[in-house]
Structure 1
């Protein structure tokens, strides 16, 4: 059996959970697997592959968070999200708080807490917004820039771990797919349009 096939089976085993009171058995697992892969009598292959893609994207987010906690242990940064905020400011320069939060795909309340934490640590500073006197811009402080540079030495090897055994060609292909998904989801997230979301949801009901 190929290594990739073994890893796939391990992924399925990790995702499988017996019903309460049900004993783990090859037969029960086989029936569950048929449903997941669209091979059951009442299965829809199209809907199952969408579900499996969503599940594995969730797995990848969990793996990244798992590794990130270890990479930043002992660091001045709290999490991978803190690094992402600083990296965004490093690339984009001064931004409004809302734009910074949007750029990192976070809810406003969660993103505001990240900004407050980075400000307390003096990794970012604020300045007046020349286009809006009521608003403030946030930007990297010198301390934040130094912390970011140190953190980059941890993050870049982490990226190599997360992409695993993918070849360069596979990485390019995966990046194009993820960018396409991002282009689809970003406007929905930015608009915070619940009506549009539920309209899409109803369109995709079986």
Structure 2
């Protein structure tokens, strides 16, 4: 038998009985209490960092949102340095090309949505890439209004020539983090992205 587990459960039941205002013998009431008890213990075990304004009530949510905005701006600074003296006008242009390399040819709408851009903004980026000959578009036989975007050999070559600088810019943004920290951050960032992708479905 799992004696240690049984002893731990008995201890938890005693804690539930002593700490709850209206303890009952209902298993679901105990389960709800246990979930809250575990969350409370986990929260106590988490070491909270200090941040500006914390003493005055500034929330963790506020800090996270501000940090994400700041990191985006730092990323743009590094990206702009990486594309200096290239055919790229903005970091979005090489990101669109990278999307086409990794995801293959796709519709104009899918490419814009993948980059979380509104249609007018995404269309401007695509038009700049078309004018530079870095991508091309073809009509779909079944629907002439739909356009499939392809990266051109010129686009592939230009992306290849500048990829080292682009990779260096990406590495500079995450420079202080260890491999383990990067994996942890990726897990958290993807969790946030997946949540907001569902919440924002149809808005872009």
What's the TM-score, normalizing by structure 1?
A: 0.71
SS of residue matched to 2:120: helix
| C-alpha separation in 1, matches of 2:160 and 2:70 | 28
| C-alpha separation in 2, matches of 1:189 and 1:109 | 18
| C-alpha separation in 2, matches of 1:131 and 1:186 | 29
Alignment of 1:10-49 (within 5 A): 33=52, 36-37=53-54, 39-40=55-56, 43=57, 48-49=59-60
CA apart distance, 1:132: 2.3
Alignment of 1:1-206 (within 5 A): 33=52, 36-37=53-54, 39-40=55-56, 43=57, 48-192=59-203
Name stretches of at least 5 consecutive residues in structure 2 with no aligned partner: 1-48
Name stretches of at least 5 consecutive residues in structure 1 with no aligned partner: 1-7, 13-32, 194-206
Q: Which moved more, 1:136-145 or 1:180-189?
A: 180-189
Q: Which has the larger radius of gyration?
A: 2
Q: C-alpha deviations, 1:21-56, integer Å up to 9, x for none?
A: xxxxxxxxxxxx4xx21x23xx3x6xx110000000
| C-alpha separation in 2, matches of 1:119 and 1:149 | 18
Runs in 1 of length 4+ with deviation above 4 angstroms?
none
**What is residue 6 of structure 2 aligned with on the other side?**
none
The alignment yields a C-alpha RMSD, in angstroms, of: 1.9
CA apart distance, 1:131: 4.1
CA apart distance, 1:136: 1.4
Higher normalized contact order (CA 8 Å, seq sep 6+, divided by chain length): 2
| C-alpha separation in 1, matches of 2:82 and 2:190 | 26
SS of residue matched to 1:105: coil
| C-alpha separation in 1, matches of 2:62 and 2:173 | 22
SS of residue matched to 2:155: helix
1:160/1:117 CA distance change after superposition, 3 Å: same
| C-alpha separation in 2, matches of 1:159 and 1:129 | 35
Q: C-alpha deviations, 1:156-206, integer Å up to 9, x for none?
A: 11121110211100000000000001101112333219xxxxxxxxxxxxx
| C-alpha separation in 1, matches of 2:196 and 2:162 | 29
SS of residue matched to 1:118: helix
